[in-house]
Structure 1
Amino acid sequence: MGQNPPYSPHLRYADQGEAAQKQALISIVSACPPLMTAFCQARDLDLPDWWIVSGAIYNQVWNHLTGRPTLYGVKDIDLFYFDPDTSYDAEDRMIQRAAKHFDTAVPVEVRNQARVHLWYKDHFGQDYDALTQSTDGIDNFASKTHAIGMRLNADETFTIYAPFGLNDVFGFRLVPHTKRDNRATHDTKAARQMALWPELTFIPWPEKTKGAR
């Protein structure tokens, strides 16, 4: 008879279904005072179509499930918003306004997703379609695992945007997203994260579908 694999407490929400994973995510975020401060202050700032996205969220999930300190490994909190005014000055005004507004444990990085296509090629060497809303930016992340955003509503509930679900987050898997040729970003981010959370499993970029949808 085969033996059952050893129980891994950090994987207790893996494969538990969407509803259970969303509830676990909300519970973990709600139990993190510095992260809740950021959500409350972001809600008060009330930028158009705002979301806190990516690392501060899934990193804290991994910290909670592995018993690591709050915000361990979190360099900053990414705040997306969408303003049709794509001028540099308009975004800079928002950034300066946010800098005076936030009082958080780590810096908050504010970026207008309506402007990404204007600077993306200079930074990454490839074209980037103009986005129509903040969640489009989440859809383009190099790892499906990282594609997550949350917003705190006026009634204290959360709205969650996770186009690829939460199972890879709770399964501690770094899964590439091949919509764009983002292999270098996937590899670089994975290397840093695996050094911090060795429980992670790295899924390499598929050679035959590099850059393919």
Structure 2
Amino acid sequence: MIGRLPLDQQLECLRATLSRNEVLTKVLARAATLNLPGWYLTAGCLFQTVWNVVTGRPPTSGIKDYDVFYFDSDDVSWEAEDAVIKAGREVFAGLAAEVEIRNEARVHLWYEDKFGVACPPYESTEAAIDSFAATTCCLGVRTEADGEWRVYAPHGLSDVFNLVVRPNPVLAPQSVYEAKAARWQEQWPELTVLDWPAMSSAAPSTDG
């Protein structure tokens, strides 16, 4: 099983697996042209591509959008983020996918109004990825100037390849985790969903 390979081999398998999703590779290539600070392609489009390939489904099956996170703390205005979103619409035009772009440096400004709880300011895109509802979701990929892939996977890749959904009780509450897990398990019934740990509580999350 890929999830039991050494990490360097898992990384090779991750790139090979994600590359089977042609929409994803196009999003990666086009996102790089935006030159966004600290950007990653992240969330559902990554781990769900892996799930699809591992279970023999078409690589794009069940993927609703492609999330691009970046981090610009120098200008956390909506106008600045909106300008990036509009530039992204042009860059991603013609793709058979919805691409959502967010400046993670300003999430704390709107999070409480939307979810009813405060979100501490993130210090980086990586910190935002760390807060996803499941550790399995904590994954980010970008392409560097030399064409190499940079992978952020704070919890490793074994769960992703082994189809294990593991809770990450640092921000999202149990209800969000369980709702997401139930939705994913409807699409990918092969998943093993682990229970939320006892005596743990948190606030809403926005992963894919």
State the TM-score, normalized to the length of structure 2. Answer: 0.92
The percentage of aligned residue pairs carrying the same residue is 38
Paired position in structure 1 for 2:82: 92
Matched, 1:149 2:125: no
State the TM-score, normalized to the length of structure 1. Answer: 0.90
Paired position in structure 2 for 1:168: 159
Unaligned runs of 5+ in 2: 204-208
Shift of 1:165: 0.8
SS of the residue 1:207 aligns to? coil
- Cα displacement string for residues 63-112 of structure 1 (whole angstroms, at most 9, x for unaligned residues): 11111112101000000011121111111111111111113221100000
Paired position in structure 1 for 2:6: 17
Matched, 1:102 2:103: no
Matched, 1:77 2:66: yes
Superposition pairs for residues 1-213 of structure 1, below 5 Å?
12-84=1-73, 85-103=75-93, 104-211=95-202
- Distance, in Å, in 2 between the alignment partners of 1:44 and 1:69 is 27
SS of the residue 1:187 aligns to? helix
Number of equivalences: 201
Shift of 1:30: 2.1
Shift of 1:181: 4.4
SS of the residue 2:33 aligns to? helix
Aligned alpha-carbon RMSD (Å) = 1.4
Answer with 1 or 2: which has the greater Rg.
1
- Distance, in Å, in 2 between the alignment partners of 1:111 and 1:138 is 12
